[in-house]
Amino acid sequence: MNTRQLEGNWEEFKGKIKQKFANLTDDDLLYEEGKRDEILGKLQQKLGKSDEEFEKLIEEL
């Protein structure tokens, strides 16, 4: 899954990333239409991942 596919598959992504990172809350993963980049940036920051690491993480999920 890449960052462009996330909008259509958000619920699936949310479940997978919560399984992998227990410290993420529902509030961390609250998706608002049109704010994809904002939420991905917040997740990246909270997980302490670089751009490349975060993209790789998303691809693995």
Confidence of residue 58 (pLDDT cuts 50, 70, 90): confident
Q: Is residue 5 part of a domain?
A: no
Instruction: For residue 4, tell me if it sits in a domain.
Output: no
Q: How many domains does the chain have?
A: 1
Contacts of 24 (CB under 8 A, 6+ apart): 17, 18, 43, 46, 47
Confidence (pTM): 0.77
Return the closest-CA partner of residue 23 out of 45, 55, 52, 1: 45
User: What is the extent of the structural domain holding 15?
Assistant: 10-60
State pLDDT tens for residues 27-38. Answer: 999 988 788 889
Structural contact between residues 21 and 47, judged by C-beta atoms closer than 8 angstroms: yes
